[in-house]
Amino acid sequence: MRPIVGITACSEIVNGVDSQCVGDKYIRSIAVAADCVPVLVPSLGEALDIPSLLERLDGILATGSDSGVHPRHYGGNAARQTPDGLDPARDATTLPLLRAAVEKGVPVLAICRGHQELNVALGGTLHQFVHELGDKRDHREDTALPKKERYEPVHTVHLAPEGFLATLLEREDMEVNSLHWQGIDRLASLLVADAWADDGLIEATHVADAPGFAVSVQWHPEWRAEENPHSVALFEAFAKACQQRAAERRHCSGSE
């Protein structure tokens, strides 16, 4: 049986109705590029039984989002927020979910907001507005472009020599579609940086000595994932870890 991967959802209001939302590209990347079974993890905060959920999942995909992580989780300026607002229900769900997944060894792939969430969940901090920093480039998407064109590569990242991504992709740098307001400031002590933009901003990490796969990227490998060999390699590595987790779960349950 294919591994089951939980995909984090955002709490949004759609046509006046409280809703749980996930972009199709994240669901499709898990189903097609990773060849796993996607299930949505709703932003329910304390109402979600995280330990029971993780017992039933073989991996977690922490998705990107227009919303920002609330500054109170990393000592930021709570009087300001990103233009697209905040999602406290998602924070209350994903931050403890990621901490628990890393601790339990459930494979994690964190993208964009998920990349930032993993750092905050493990004790790191964020730059709230990267473009306002004098030594950083403007990493925001160009809203004048059609949505599809915004996801074309926009800058280079340099991979840590002999790091996880450099070893996986067998290269020293690559072009990425990195689009965001916030970014990693102080790196969590459990994380190791795997890639940087030219301005020094951390664009990828992995959890040092993690009991399972735990990787984050600031860019969007889920966008047309099956058409990009670097994205395919990343999702296949994640899927391999999820397959191992699934085999271990079956063995423990006595179903093999």
Active site residues: 112, 220, 222
Return the bridge partners of 21, or none.
10
Please give the Cα distance from 87 to 237 (Å, whole number).
30
3-state DSSP of 197-253 = ECCCCEEEEEECCCCCCEEEECCCCCCCHHHCHHHHHHHHHHHHHHHHHHHHHHHHH
Q: DSSP characters for 138-185?
A: --S--TTS-HHHHTS--EEEEEPTTSHHHHHHT-SEEEE----S-EES
Measured at the alpha carbon of residue 245, what is the angle toward residues 166 and 229, in degrees to the nearest 5?
35
Please give the Cα distance from 83 to 132 (Å, whole number).
14
Please give the Cα distance from 53 to 40 (Å, whole number).
11
Please give the Cα distance from 196 to 10 (Å, whole number).
27
Q: Going by C-beta distance under 8 Å and a sequence separation of 6 or more, which residues neighbour residue 127?
A: 133, 136, 182, 183, 184, 185, 201
Please give the Cα distance from 26 to 62 (Å, whole number).
9
Residues comprising the chain, all counted: 256
Please give the Cα distance from 173 to 160 (Å, whole number).
9
